[in-house]
Amino acid sequence: MPRKVIGASPSLRPRFLVEVSVAAMTGALVVWDVGSAKAQCVVTVPAGTTIASNFEVGCSSPTGQTASPTLNPGQATGANNASVSVTGVSISQPAGGQPRNGIAATTTGTGGGTVTVTDTTITNIKTTGPSLGINITVNPANSTAVADGVLTMSGTNSITIGQFDPITGLPTTPGSGGGILVNVRGAGNATTTIGGTLDVNVFSGTGSGSIAKDDGVETTARGGTATLDMTGITGASTVSTNAGNGLFIDSLPSTPNTSGGNVVVVGVSNLVAVNVDNSTFGVANPSTTTAVANAGILAATFGSGTVNIQGTSATINTTGPFADGIHAITQTGTVTLNNSGNITTTGPSSHGIEVTTTNVTPTLPIYTGTAGATTLTTVYNQQLIAVSGMPDLALSGFPATGAVSVTNSGAITTSGGGSATTASNGIYAWTLSGGTGASGNVTVVNNAGGNVTASGDFSNAILATTTNTSTGAAGAINVTNAATLTTFGANADGISAIASGTTVGPMTIANSGVITVTGASANGMEATTSSGVVTIDNSGSVNSGHADGILASATAAGATLALINEAAGNIFGSTGVGIGNNFATAQLDNAGTIGASTDLAIDSTALTTGPLTINNSGTITGFMRLGAGVNTLNNSGTWNFSEFQRHDRHAWRRGCRLWRLLREQRHQQHRHDSAAWRG
C-alpha cells in the first residue's frame, strides 16, 4: 500500500531532513518512503503514545539511507539517516490485514538502519507473516553495500508474538513471526545491544512448512560481524519461542563461496532465561520430510569466520528433538565457548552444548518421526545449508578446520536419545575434515560446578571427537574434568574421546571429579585413537556399573598409552582398567586404588601388538588378564589377589572343589585319630 508522511509537509524536497514526531496518535501509519539518497528519515515516537492499528512504526528507504545520526543531510557521500526511536510506547498489531511489524527500519540501497527502543511494549497477533516485533532489514537487494544494522534497547521492554491466555499464560492462537530481527543483507555489521529488562514470548505457527525460523532474538550479518551484547541487562529477562532459536547470531557469506564474518555473543548473564519448545517442528511434518532443529543459543558462521561466546551464564531449557542448549558452528575458523549457566534439554538429539568445525556440508543426526513415518533430514536454519551460498570447501582442497574450545562450569542435564544417532550428550565437541586439511583440535574444560547428568542411551556426559575421513590428519584432543559426571543409559560413557585419521594428534584426558555410569556397556572413561599418543590422568573417582572403569584402545599401529592413577584416584568397574588393540607400548602407573565387581582389575588380553608395564605403588584388588606380549609388573604397593567373582565362575567352582577336598581330608584325619585312640 502507498506510504504516507505524518507530520511533514509534502512540499519538502528529498534532499532535506524529513522528521516525523508523533505525540499521542492512535491508528496512524508512521512511515516515510524516501526517494533520494540525499534524504533522511527520522521517526521519533515520544513516551505515552499508543499505536493500535494495522500499521508499523518505522522508516523505509528504497534508495539508501544510513543509520548514523551523526551524518548530516546533503553530504557528498549521499549517505544519510534512516532511524527509528521509540520511548514509552505501546504498539499492538491485530490479527487481520496485511503482514506488519511492530517497529521496522528497512533500507534497499546502500544505507543502514538504526532502531532505538526504550520502555516499550509490542504485541503482534497477526496470522499473516512475516510479522515481527522489531525488524531491521538493511540492503536486501545490494550484497556489496557496507552499511550497518543496529538495535539498541534499554529500560523495560516486552515483545509478544501470538495470543496467550491472560489467566493461565498458555498459548492460544499462534502469530506469524519472530520477536526481534536485525538482518544486514549487505556486507556491513549487525549489532544488537540489549540492556534493562526484556521479555520476548513467541508463539508462532509458521516454523515448519517453508522452514521459516521465528527466533526470539536474531542478529544476522553477511560477511560482517554479527554481535549480540546483553551486558546491560539489569533485571530478570526471558526469551521463549516455539518455532525458532531462542537467541540466533550468525554471519553468512555476502556472496557465494566467500567467507562469513565473525560472531560474538557477550553478556548473556544469569538474569536471562531462554526457553525453546521444539516439540512441534523438530518432528516429522505430514507435508515435508524436513525437521527443523533449534537451540537455546545458536551461533554460526562459515569459511574462516570465528564464533566467540563469552561468559554465558543464562538458564537454558529446551524440549523436543533437535534442540541443543547451545550450538556453535563454523568451518575453518575457530569456536570458543565459555558457559557457566544451567542447561536442561529434554528430547532426542538435543545436546547440552554442541560445538563444531567442519569443511564438509554440516550433517546433523537423522531422526525418524512418527507422523508420516518418514526419515528426516534436519537443518538448523534454511540459511545454514549449501544453497544459501555456504562456501564449498571442496573447491579449495578441504583446508584444515578450526579448533573448538569449551569451558563449562554450569550444570547440564539431558534426557532423551535411544540410539547412536539420537543421543543427547551433555557436552559434545567435534571437528571433521573430509580432505587433506586436518580436522581441528578439540579442547573441553569442565570445571567444578559443571555437573553433567545424561539419561539416554548412547548419551555421554562429555564426548570429544576429531575425525578426518580422507587422507588428512586428525587434530589433538584435550579433556579436563573436575565436576560430577553421571550417566544412566546403555553405551553412555562419562568421558569419551575419539581421534580418527591416517595420523592423529595427541590425546589427553585428566579427571579429578566424580564419574558414575550405570548402563550396560557404559565406560567411566574411554579413549580411542588411531595412532596417536594417549595420556590419561585420574585423581578422582571413576565407577562403571557394567563395563570398564577406564578403557583405552588403539585402532592402528604406532599408538602409545600412559595411564596414571594418582594417589587420590579410584577406578572401579565390572573391569577396572581395560587396554586393547594396537598400542605399541602401554604403561599403567597406579598410586591409588583399582578394583572390579568381577575382581578383574586389569584386562589387556586385547592388547595384540605391544607390551604392558604396570608400576603399582597403590592398591590393586583382584586379578589380571594380560596380553601376549612381554608384560612387566613392578609392585611396591599392595596387590590383593582375588578372583572369586569371575564372570565364568571357574574360580567359584575351584573353591568349592577345594573346600570339599579339605573337608574330606579333615574327616579322614578324624577317622584315623579315632581308630588310633581306640587302639
Asked if residues 59 and 41 have their Cβ atoms less than 8 Å apart, the reply is: yes
Residue 8, classed as helix, strand or coil, is: coil
Let me know: does 498 contact 474? Beta carbons within 8 Å: no
| pLDDT score recorded for residue 666 | 55
The CA distance from 10 to 667, in Å, is: 123
Residues 6 or more apart whose CB falls under 8 angstroms from that of 5 comprise 18, 20, 32
Selection from 214, 196, 193 nearest residue 151 by Cα: 193
User: Is 164 inside a domain boundary?
Assistant: yes
* Residue numbers of the domain that contains 175: 1-206
> Cβ–Cβ contacts within 10 Å for residue 259, how many?
20
Q: Is residue 109 situated within a structural domain?
A: yes
Q: Which residue's entry shows cell 557521500? A: 77
- Which residue type, as a one-letter code, is found at position 295? A
CB 619 within 8 A of CB 594: yes
Q: Rounded distance, CA 339 to CA 657, Å?
A: 60
Q: CA 80 from chain center: how many Å?
A: 40
Kind of pairing, strands 90-93 and 484-487?
Answer: unpaired
Beta-bridged to residue 572, according to DSSP, are 543, 595
Q: What is the pLDDT of residues 213-237, one digit of tens each?
A: 799 999 999 889 999 999 999 999 9
Q: DSSP code of 81?
A: B
Q: pLDDT at position 29, please? A: 32
**Residues 538, 567: contact at Cβ < 8 Å?**
no
| 652 domain residue, yes or no | yes
Check residue 491 and report its DSSP letter: T
**Domain limit, last residue, from 155, 176, 206:** 206
Last residue of a domain, one of 189, 206, 223: 206
Q: Name the amino acid, one letter, at 529.
A: T
* pLDDT of 39: 44
Within-domain flag for 535: no
Strand pairing class (17-21; 541-544): unpaired
How far, in Å, are 21, 27, 86, 240, 288 from residue 34 at the CA level?
Answer: 16, 22, 20, 36, 41
Instruction: Identify the domain boundary among 169, 188, 206.
Output: 206
pLDDT of residue 230: 98
Cell reading at 9: 509537509
How many domains does the chain divide into?
2
Q: Which amino acid is at 287?
A: S
Closest by CA to 66, choosing from 107, 18, 111, 116, is 111
- What SS3 state is found at 461? coil
Does residue 15 lie within any of the structural domains?
A: yes
**CA 191 – CA 203 distance, rounded (Å):** 25
Task: Find, among 345, 485, 353, the residue nearest to 417 by Cα.
Answer: 345
Q: Evaluate whether residue 31 is within a structural domain.
A: yes
Torsion of CA 276, 444, 431, 429, to 10 degrees: -30
Q: Give every residue of the chain whose pLDDT is below 70, as ranges.
A: 1-82, 108-109, 140-143, 206-212, 256-257, 284-290, 361-397, 644-679
DSSP state of 403: P
Residue 607 DSSP class: B
Separation of alpha carbons 14 and 122, rounded Å: 31
Count of helices and strands (H, E) across the chain: 1, 54
DSSP string, 562-603: EEEE-TT-EEEEEEEEEEEEEEEEEEEEESSEEEEEEEEEEE
Domain assignment present for residue 429? The answer is: no
* Residue 72: per-residue pLDDT: 23
Transcribe 291-324 into DSSP letters: EEPEEEEEEEE-TT--EEEEEE--EEEEESSSEE
| Residue 653 within a domain | yes
CA-CA distance, 151 to 182, in Å (whole number)?
7
What's the rounded Cα separation, in Å, for the pair 223 and 519? 46
Tell me the residue type at 109: G
Of 569, 502, 559, the closest CA to residue 533 belongs to 559
Q: In whole angstroms, what is the distance from residue 292 CA to residue 244 CA?
A: 8
Closest CA relative to residue 443, chosen from 373, 525, 503, 508: 508
Identify the pLDDT of residue 34.
35
Copy the grid coordinates of residue 211.
522452514
pLDDT value of residue 101:
86
pTM of model > 0.75: yes
Instruction: Give me the count of residues in the chain.
Output: 679
**Cα 559 to the chain's mean position, in Å?**
31
